[in-house]
Amino acid sequence: MSRFDTVVVVDWSGAASPSPARPAKDAIWIGIARDTGTEAQYHRTRHAATEALADLFQTEIAAGRRVLAGFDFPFAYPRGFARALTGTDDPLALWAELAARISDGPDNANNRLDAAAAINRLFPGTGPFWGNGLGRDIADLPRTKAGYASPFADRRRCDTTPGAQPVWKLAGAGSVGSQALLGIPRLQSLRVRFGADISVRPFETQDTAVTLVELFPSLIAGTVADLAEEAEIKDRAQVRVLASALRALEPGKLDALSREGDVVEGWILGLGHAALLEQAARRACAPLLPPRLRDDCFAMPQGVAWVPVDEALARLRAALHPVTGVEQLRTAEAMGRILAEPVMARRSNPPLPNSAVDGYGFAFAATGAGVNRLPLLAGRAAAGQPYDGPVPQGHALRILTGATLPQGVDTVVLEEDTATDGALVAFDGPVRARANTRRAGEDVAEGTQALPAGHRLRAPDLALLSALGLSHLPVRSRLRVGVLSTGDEIVPDPADSALPHQIWDANRPMLLALAAGWHCAPVDLGHVRDDRALIRDRLDEAAGQVDVILTSGGASAGDEDHVSALLRAQGTLSSWRIALKPGRPLALALWQGVPVFGLPGNPVAALVCALVFARPALSLLAGAGWVEPVGFTVPAGFSKSKKPGRREYLRARLTAQGTAEVFGSEGSGRISGLSWADGLVELPDAALDVTPGTPVRYIPYSAFGI
């Protein structure tokens, strides 16, 4: 599967003098999309643009990256013209012919009109070229198309899209003819410079470091207009959006498109596939506007009394979707982030076959049973220091772990299994063909998916993606989680004194720490007293700053439960009466489109509800999908007679014997038990008599991301 690492889109110009110093329209614009992002360059002259392209090609070739470069002028002329001028239908023969006829100075001064007139003289009639906007007349180049007669068709087969202009037109709006006459010779100069590293599709089919194609940005003009930045110059938007779109096509698709078309008249890449390009453009460039959650997304059907935990989780899962944007981060800085798109291997790992051990390398074909004695070549192959030259069959070479196998070596014998006097190496045969070697791509093959979208990056993933040459990654922005405490009795900061009837805020630091541990961006929304107007103001402020809000306290239906009263008055509250202990109704609502989780005030219930409900919900909102904690079954180290009809979570920890012991009190105000525990025992909804040895499900805190 052929893949392009870098896509370049050039909006060319047929101007006769340099474009303004300040970036302007109708000049040369170059859009470059690569793994580090997309940029747009402005050039005042064709000479400057050609040099910039040559530099870019050089850099990309040196870095082992493949480039597709597209230009918005015709690469060929209607059938018959190339043959009449060069004796062959090959458009590239015509490129050389035009390059010989056209001169184009570093200041854009050029002879295109005189050259066109000279070509016109070769043919009967007034054309094929027409259009002269100069003050002076040019013999054999008509000023307009009036009385036009030419032996060639007016347009190519691919020039029938709306807005396409005849290639013969050299003056006036959209005079693509001048761009071609001044573009083709420049591309021909790049062909000469880059030789076997460059090819032109669809005329040539080989895979080269640089591939040139013809483009027509107007193919997706509407989408470009939609995706343009405010006050962005149209030409700039075109090259930027089209380059990003082409690069965003699935691997192999761009290569396939570039091979379509007509090898005599040329082809506009993507013709007939505008919808595909538009989709890719939107995917690549649309500022990610997360869809809003629906106001009624948490609604519970009428008459539902107690909702089992599993049903509550299923409802929550169905109600939510990712709300975070996408950014590009350096791989080394992407720890804990979520991939926004699947990532593909840029190169195979290992890129070349190499040795898995320190030893001696040789061709398997020259070995046999019994003792083998092979003459040793001078020198060695080491990691990062390849052996320069072939190893003739029947010879051996010292080779170290990680060294690229030299030409002629397919098998390595382990150093410990050999004896050597410096001239010969001896070992027992038979050896296994390709023993102690690693195949190119045996770990990961180029172009295959390394990790899927939605994957949260851990340290080993950073190793994998770095090994595959991915310097930057498209990741989700961190989910911003606001945490708010309510209650007249709460003192927000333990640095402040508390009167005997007051308590220090325990939930806020806990919930902020949970959010941080879940790789979200915690936002401290502080504490508000039980005052509806104050709570409203704080929520209003928060809605502009965060993606989701966790509140604790005041979420029940009592007199002092101002959070639920406010959310109810505002109309989006759904109080879920979940069959769960510890826990009370979970208040779910949207505040200006931002989901609010009203957690119980009791720290024990607040933690359990956060772990059971908020954690998977936040993961889904963040773009990492729904998550379930991985628990395991252990014998109970306690006794309990559990009533039917609700699920229970007990503060628990493992004993040295591998049983689960539980905290002495189930009181939901007992914060010390939360800290005593290392996890939770989950008892099922049904009744259960637990005695020592009864299998129970233990979920360690670590499985909840604590």
Please, what is the minimum distance in Å from the beta carbon of residue 602 to ligand AMP? 4
CA R_g for the chain = 35
Q: Is 441 in the site for Mg ion (CB under 5 A)?
A: no
> Which partner in Mg ion, ligand AMP, none is near 575 (CB below 5 to 8 A by kind)?
none
- Residue 2 near residue 255, CB atoms below 8 Å: yes
Q: Is 487 in the site for Mg ion (CB under 5 A)?
A: yes
Residue nearer to ligand AMP on the CB measure, 185 or 582: 582
Please, what is the minimum distance in Å from the beta carbon of residue 554 to Mg ion? 5
Nearest partner of 506 among 399, 595, 599, 573, judged by Cα: 599
Q: Which of 202, 474, 554, 679 binds Mg ion (CB under 5 A)?
A: 554
Burial class of residue 261 in the structure, from the number of CB atoms within 10 Å of its CB (0-12 exposed, 13-18 middle, 19+ buried): buried
HSE-CB at 336 with a 13 A cutoff on CA atoms is 12
- Look at residue 198 and give its three-state secondary structure: strand
The H-assigned helical ranges of 348-476 are 459-467
Residue nearer to Mg ion on the CB measure, 108 or 486: 486
Please, what is the minimum distance in Å from the beta carbon of residue 658 to ligand AMP? 34
Residue nearer to ligand AMP on the CB measure, 522 or 700: 522
Please, what is the minimum distance in Å from the beta carbon of residue 509 to ligand AMP? 9
> Which partner in ligand AMP, Mg ion, none is near 661 (CB below 5 to 8 A by kind)?
none
Q: Is 603 in the site for Mg ion (CB under 5 A)?
A: no
Please, what is the minimum distance in Å from the beta carbon of residue 517 to ligand AMP? 19
Please, what is the minimum distance in Å from the beta carbon of residue 487 to Mg ion? 4
Task: Kindly indicate which of the ranges 256-264, 481-489, 633-641, 644-652 contains the residues binding Mg ion, using the contact rule CB under 5 A.
Answer: 481-489
List contacts with ligand AMP (CB under 6 A): 485, 487, 489-490, 503, 505-508, 552-556, 600-603
CB-based closest residue to Mg ion: 487
Residue nearer to ligand AMP on the CB measure, 330 or 529: 529
Residue nearer to ligand AMP on the CB measure, 13 or 552: 552
List CB contacts of 359: < 8 A, sequence separation 6 or more.
399, 412, 413, 414, 415, 417, 418, 436
Residue nearer to ligand AMP on the CB measure, 28 or 674: 674
Tell me how crowded residue 144 is: count the other CB atoms within 10 A of its CB: 12
> Which partner in Mg ion, ligand AMP, none is near 150 (CB below 5 to 8 A by kind)?
none
Q: Is 553 in the site for Mg ion (CB under 5 A)?
A: yes
Please, what is the minimum distance in Å from the beta carbon of residue 571 to ligand AMP? 22
DSSP string of 100-145, one letter each residue: HH--B-TTS-B-HHHHHHHHHTTSSSS-S-B---SSS--TT--SSS
Burial class of residue 26 in the structure, from the number of CB atoms within 10 Å of its CB (0-12 exposed, 13-18 middle, 19+ buried): middle
Nearest partner of 526 among 554, 497, 550, 561, judged by Cα: 550
Please, what is the minimum distance in Å from the beta carbon of residue 477 to Mg ion? 33
Residue nearer to Mg ion on the CB measure, 70 or 598: 598
Sign of CA dihedral 302, 549, 666, 634: positive
Residue nearer to Mg ion on the CB measure, 553 or 598: 553
Please, what is the minimum distance in Å from the beta carbon of residue 529 to Mg ion? 10
List CB contacts of 152: < 8 A, sequence separation 6 or more.
77, 78, 79, 80, 81, 84, 127, 128, 168
Residue nearer to ligand AMP on the CB measure, 120 or 575: 575
> Which partner in ligand AMP, Mg ion, none is near 602 (CB below 5 to 8 A by kind)?
ligand AMP
- Rounded to an integer, what distance in angstroms lies between the CA atom of residue 364 and that of residue 434? 7
- φ/ψ of 474, rounded to 5, equals -80, 110
Nearest partner of 257 among 221, 196, 211, judged by Cα: 211
Tell me how crowded residue 343 is: count the other CB atoms within 10 A of its CB: 24
CB-based closest residue to ligand AMP: 601
> Which partner in ligand AMP, Mg ion, none is near 552 (CB below 5 to 8 A by kind)?
ligand AMP
Please, what is the minimum distance in Å from the beta carbon of residue 507 to ligand AMP? 4
The H-assigned helical ranges of 380-480 are 459-467
- Residue 417 near residue 427, CB atoms below 8 Å: yes
Please, what is the minimum distance in Å from the beta carbon of residue 677 to ligand AMP? 17
Residue nearer to ligand AMP on the CB measure, 312 or 587: 587
- Rounded to an integer, what distance in angstroms lies between the CA atom of residue 412 and that of residue 432? 9
Residue nearer to ligand AMP on the CB measure, 142 or 600: 600
> Which partner in ligand AMP, Mg ion, none is near 600 (CB below 5 to 8 A by kind)?
ligand AMP
- Residue 552 near residue 601, CB atoms below 8 Å: yes
> Which partner in ligand AMP, Mg ion, none is near 179 (CB below 5 to 8 A by kind)?
none
Which residues of the chain form contacts with Mg ion (CB under 5 A)?
Answer: 487, 553-554
